[in-house]
Amino acid sequence: GQQVMQIPQYQHVQEGEDFTTYCNSSTTLSNIQWYKQRPGGHPVFLIQLVKSGEVKKQKRLTFQFGEAKKNSSLHITATQTTDVGTYFCAGPRRAGANSKLTFGKGITLSVRP
Amino acid sequence: NAGVTQTPKFQVLKTGQSMTLQCAQDMNHEYMSWYRQDPGMGLRLIHYSVGAGITDQGEVPNGYNVSRSTTEDFPLRLLSAAPSQTSVYFCASASTSGRTDTQYFGPGTRLTVL
């Protein structure tokens, strides 16, 4: 079945450093979504990418969807302690079944002040 | 608009006990789902529903039952709790219409089975 992979599962950065993480799917995706979960909290939707090569920005966060629509990246510029948490990517399990998502295992980001 | 609500927030069970985790949403979403989250395992889909009266199994359905008698409610039942079901459980809902299918998660239920 479809797999969505995020490696590594943990990353530690110094505050102010940039951070990039990647998400890879075993199949072509109609869209990809990113969620953030703060420690002790629940996943919260960040963004959805639909078009091949699409790039979207949210303040210091930049999201990109690959040309082949099988991978995506999240880049954080000048990390802050507020960026701490686990970032999940998720893609629909099959075309047309957008609400049934496969989640990656997530990457947990820690930021040293 | 409360979004997705879950009760209880915390629960401790003994092996063999049964219980129901409650989930409700007030956004008129057709799609609802249950996930469990374990360290290093990400979010794993237990059961989901695409509308009232319709449910289906996800990746890890064994030991859990669900029903969807109304659009708003989607309870998850543990018939005979086992220590392997110790986890954090999240309910989520989404609209199946429109251009985005954002999933809205509830605050979670932290379950310990002794």
Residue from B41, B43, B59, B99 whose CB has the most chain A CBs within 10 Å, to mutate: B43
Residue B39 confidence (pLDDT):
86
Tokens 């109304």: give the residue: B70
B93 to chain A, any CB pair closer than 8 A? The answer is: no
pLDDT tens readout for residues B17-48: 999 999 999 999 999 999 999 988 889 999 99
- Within 10 Å of residue A53's Cβ, how many Cβ atoms? 11
Which whole number is the average pLDDT over A58-68? 97
The pLDDT assigned to B37 comes to 96
pLDDT, mean over chain B: 93
Check CB contact under 8 Å for B41 and A105. Answer: yes
Q: What angle do CA B58, B110, A79 make, to 5 degrees?
A: 90
CA distance between the termini of chain A: 41
B96–A44: do the CB atoms touch at under 8 Å? no
pLDDT at B95: 84
For testing contact with chain B, the best of A37, A101, A102 (most B CBs within 10 A): A101
- For chain B, the farthest-separated pair of C-alpha atoms sits apart, in whole angstroms, at 44
Q: How confident is the model at residue A98 (pLDDT cuts 50, 70, 90)?
A: low
Number of A/B CB contacts below 8 angstroms equals 53
Model confidence at A61: pLDDT above 90:
yes
Query: Cβ of B54 under 8 Å from any chain A Cβ?
Result: no
Q: Is the pLDDT of residue B97 over 80?
A: no
pLDDT for the residue B96: 74
